[in-house]
């Protein structure tokens, strides 16, 4: 049951009343007959979702009622295990729908999402607030030490009890009704916000009349802009589409400063300029409702509620870390800004550095410092080569995995690729889906999800997917990646490995179902192999000639790894601190819609990250993370990076890219999912507490010697764990 509820909560789903299909016609009414229960995308129609959702919810409620009203005394098997087995139909339908609504949505799916968000919230509440069911769970919990359960089963019982309490199981009946109303409205608001962000990022594309304004772009990029304009009925013009981040990649290439400014201003205005896409009212209402819900459940604010269940434990621990890092990050950013301003002055620019100038002039400084730029790199980073001879190669060297492309399984979009993943012994391990290209029907960013999650209880084995948003070139042109896109591919595959290596008993603990501030750790670690010399040499080959990237250029890529880290750290920290500011408010402190942007400005100033040339990576009205599973959790990336930096150091000290190292990491951490305490998994792997020094050195926030000294500090100086 819990695995279904998690999926429903994260997806924020909804549905539309349509005619019910027969059992034979609806592919969700039965387990998929394809390998690993891979979804039957060729048979799934939008009209199948609503009947599957309706029947799935009805079936699960019936199963739950049978568990709650079982005349036999509660046992672990007839209560907890029975709940884990419940809701199979609903899980199948919800999982496919939630993944598709992110990767390839349409009007029908958007209507489904909007209509069923409150219905799914109500369904969750019907289970979590079932007093009879909770009484059985509580009975087992009170005598848990007498049940002689194995460690994973005991942890499952404890987590179920905690989840029900956090969901309101101990509230009075009147407060339960209030909670249900709050949950339903919050689900609706989250759906509206997501749709507004997607619609506006498409609507905010910048139209260019004269090709001369596109100076600096490659012929392929100009052709893609012309094709995009044509698809919008603007033949003869050029359209530059936006990504969901504040900064836009094309700003690093466009020579026309006025056009760079247009791109930037179109980006930062999203969600706050009035009209149908304005998200300020949704933000204000959501923050108020979340604060009210936290208070109802006995917490001072939403951040306190969220963080209790993470490795950070408290808002104070998160605040302390972010505020310790911010001054050094901003100081680095200011030093970088001075270098950029010097470049502007050297060229006779006659203007002060602005946000829309940063990417463009940082490329110039990079080129001057390291005598290379992105344009020199891209011919060596062709997509298929990066994926198969880079990402997959590193996984083969570390874990013995092999990958075989297959074309017999159906896909939901022609651009999607599918691979069999074979373990070191040659036996099938998982199926991997690669969805790499951007499109209007796809949300921004990059992510991993699971269509089927491993669990010994159900016999399920993993079907996992990675999603990127790489601009698709015109037909016949190669897909050449930026260095950032290369590292993103390695990052997301780290999540995929976490899902594929899962070896747990219960669905609740499968794969990436770990604390939010731990889940980014394996994925961030996997980025280290992108510029590992043996891996980089293997995939960095010219797309035309097959010649390897010259050693001199390889060396420059590695040497430049800390370049622009002041900017990168500051734009991230400002967003993470903004997230905390919003979610540490009481209901009375939440600003009205008209003051949302004023609050944002005041928050950035209060935290000392209001450096104008470096805006937050996401501004509040299009900060999708904080309206979904990362609410009060955007800090997770850098919190996890402490563990990542420690682990990267461990790999380097133990010989790097070897099977012995990979197998140790897999056995002690990647395969365990959420079945053990997250920080204990790290300690078992590394043999020590997390230390802050390696992160500071990695981010360039201290001199290397200082970082090494801090890395040698005892576990009492750990910044990653407030328990230490």
Check whether residue 467 and residue 383 sit in a common domain. yes
Helix-strand-coil split of the chain, %, nearest 5: 60, 5, 35
Indicate whether 450 belongs to any domain: yes
In a domain, 428, yes or no: yes
**Do 225 and 162 share a structural domain?**
no
The answer to whether residue 722 is domain-embedded is: no
pLDDT at 703: 46
> What's the confidence (pLDDT) of residue 23?
62
Instruction: Give the mean model confidence (pLDDT) for residues 421-430.
Output: 98
On whether both 155 and 208 belong to a single domain, the answer is no
Average pLDDT on 321-329 reads: 94
| Same domain flag for 72 and 128 | yes
Tell me, yes or no, whether 29 and 157 share the same domain: yes
- Average predicted confidence (pLDDT) for the chain: 92
Structural domains in the chain (count): 3
Q: Does the pLDDT value for residue 253 go beyond 90? A: yes
Of 336, 492, 571, 600, the catalytic one is 492
pLDDT at 22: 55
* Residue 34 pLDDT exceeds 50: yes
pLDDT above 70 (res 721): no
Are residue 389 and residue 519 in the same domain, yes or no? yes
Q: Does residue 217 share a domain with residue 73?
A: no
* Whether 84 and 225 share a structural domain: no
166 and 21 in a single domain? The answer is yes
pTM to 2 decimals?
0.87
Q: Cα-flanking dihedrals φ and ψ of residue 460, to 5°?
A: -75, 145
Q: Are residues 161 and 229 in the same domain?
A: no
Residue 109's domain comprises: 2-170
Partners of 432 in beta bridges? 419, 464
What the block records as the tokens of 176 is 């339960």
pLDDT of residue 256: 98
pLDDT category at 628 given cuts 50, 70, 90 is confident
Of the residues 511, 536, 562, the one at which a domain ends: 562
Domain boundary among 519, 545, 562: 562
Q: Are residues 212 and 158 in the same domain?
A: no
Is 80 exceeded by the pLDDT of residue 550?
Answer: yes
CA proximity to 166, closest of 306, 310, 3, 2 = 306
Calpha distance 89→508 (Å, rounded)? 16
Between CA 695 and CA 429 the distance in angstroms is 33
CATH number of the domain at 410, please. 1.10.1370.40
Res 365: pLDDT: 94
526 and 435 part of one domain:
yes
331-356, pLDDT tens digit by residue? 999 999 999 999 999 999 999 999 99
pLDDT for position 591 = 98
Phi, psi of 478 (to 5 degrees): -75, 155
Q: How many other CB atoms are there within 10 angstroms of residue 552's CB atom?
A: 9
Catalytic status, residue 492: yes
Domain boundary among the residues 170, 194, 213 is at 170
């Amino acid at each position: 049951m819990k695995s279904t509820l998690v999926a429903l909560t994260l997806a924020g789903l909804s549905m539309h009343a349509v005619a019910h299909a027969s059992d034979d016609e609806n592919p969700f009414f039965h387990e998929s007959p394809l390998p690993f229960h891979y979804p039957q995308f060729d048979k799934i129609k939008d009209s199948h979702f609503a009947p599957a959702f309706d029947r799935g919810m009805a079936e699960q409620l019936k199963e739950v009622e049978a568990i709650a009203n079982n005349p036999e005394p509660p046992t672990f098997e007839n209560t907890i295990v029975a709940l884990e087995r419940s809701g199979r139909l609903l899980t199948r339908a919800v999982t496919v729908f939630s993944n598709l609504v992110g990767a390839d949505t349409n009007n029908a799916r958007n209507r489904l999402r909007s209509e069923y968000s409150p219905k799914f919230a109500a369904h969750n509440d019907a289970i979590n607030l079932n007093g009879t069911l909770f009484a059985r769970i509580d009975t087992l919990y009170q005598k848990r030490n007498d049940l002689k359960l194995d460690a994973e089963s005991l942890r499952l019982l404890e987590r179920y009890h905690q989840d029900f309490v956090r969901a309101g199981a101990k509230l009075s009946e009147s407060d339960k009704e209030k909670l249900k109303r709050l949950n339903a409205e919050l689900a609706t608001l989250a759906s509206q916000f997501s749709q507004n962000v997607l619609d506006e990022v498409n609507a905010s594309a910048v139209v260019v009349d004269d090709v001369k304004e596109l100076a600096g772009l490659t012929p392929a990029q100009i052709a893609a802009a012309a094709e995009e304009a044509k698809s919008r009925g603007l033949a003869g013009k050029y359209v530059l589409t936006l990504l969901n981040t504040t900064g836009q990649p094309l700003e690093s290439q466009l020579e026309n400063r006025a056009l760079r400014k247009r791109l930037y201003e179109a980006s930062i205005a999203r969600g706050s300029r009035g009209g149908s896409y304005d998200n300020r009212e949704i933000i204000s209402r959501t923050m108020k409702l979340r604060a009210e819900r936290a208070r109802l459940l006995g917490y001072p604010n939403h951040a306190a509620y969220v963080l209790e269940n993470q490795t950070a434990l408290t808002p104070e621990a998160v605040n302390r870390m972010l505020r310790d890092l911010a001054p050094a990050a901003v100081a680095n950013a200011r030093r970088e800004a001075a270098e950029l301003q010097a470049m502007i002055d050297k060229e006779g620019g006659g203007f002060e550095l602005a946000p829309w100038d940063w990417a463009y002039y940082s490329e110039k400084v990079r080129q001057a410092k390291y005598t290379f730029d992105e344009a020199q790199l891209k011919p060596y980073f062709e997509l298929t080569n990066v994926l198969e001879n880079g990402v997959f190669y590193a996984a083969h060297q570390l874990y013995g995995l092999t990958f075989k492309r297959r074309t017999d399984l159906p896909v939901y979009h022609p651009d999607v690729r599918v691979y069999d993943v074979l373990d070191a012994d040659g036996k099938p391990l998982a199926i991997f889906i690669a969805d790499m290209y951007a499109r209007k029907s796809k949300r921004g960013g990059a992510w991993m999800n699971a269509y089927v999650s491993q669990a010994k209880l159900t016999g399920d084995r993993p079907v996992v997917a990675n999603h990127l948003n790489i601009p698709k070139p015109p037909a016949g042109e190669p897909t050449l990646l930026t260095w950032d896109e290369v590292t993103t591919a390695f990052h997301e595959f780290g999540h995929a490995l976490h899902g594929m290596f899962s070896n747990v008993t219960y669905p609740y603990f499968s794969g990436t179902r770990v604390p939010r501030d731990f889940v980014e750790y394996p994925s961030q670690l996997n980025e280290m192999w992108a510029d590992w010399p043996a891996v980089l040499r293997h995939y960095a080959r010219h797309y035309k000639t097959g010649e390897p990237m010259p050693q001199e250029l390889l060396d420059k890529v590695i040497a430049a790894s800390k370049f622009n880290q002041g900017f990168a750290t500051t734009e991230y920290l400002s967003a993470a601190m903004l997230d905390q500011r919003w979610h540490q408010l009481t209901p009375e402190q939440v600003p009205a819609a008209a003051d949302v942007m004023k609050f944002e400005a005041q928050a950035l100033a209060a935290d000392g990250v209001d450096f104008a040339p470096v805006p937050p990576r996401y501004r509040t009205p299009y900060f999708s993370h904080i309206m979904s599973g990362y609410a009060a959790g955007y800090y997770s990336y850098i919190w996890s990076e402490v563990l990542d930096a420690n682990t990267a150091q461990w790999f380097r000290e133990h010989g790097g890219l070897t099977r012995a190292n990979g197998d140790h990491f897999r056995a002690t951490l990647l395969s365990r999912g959420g079945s053990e305490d997250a920080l204990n998994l790290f300690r078992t792997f590394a043999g020590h507490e997390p230390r802050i020094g390696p992160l500071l050195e990695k981010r360039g926030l201290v001199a290397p010697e200082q970082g090494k000294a801090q890395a040698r500090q005892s576990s009492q100086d750990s910044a990653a764990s407030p328990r230490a």
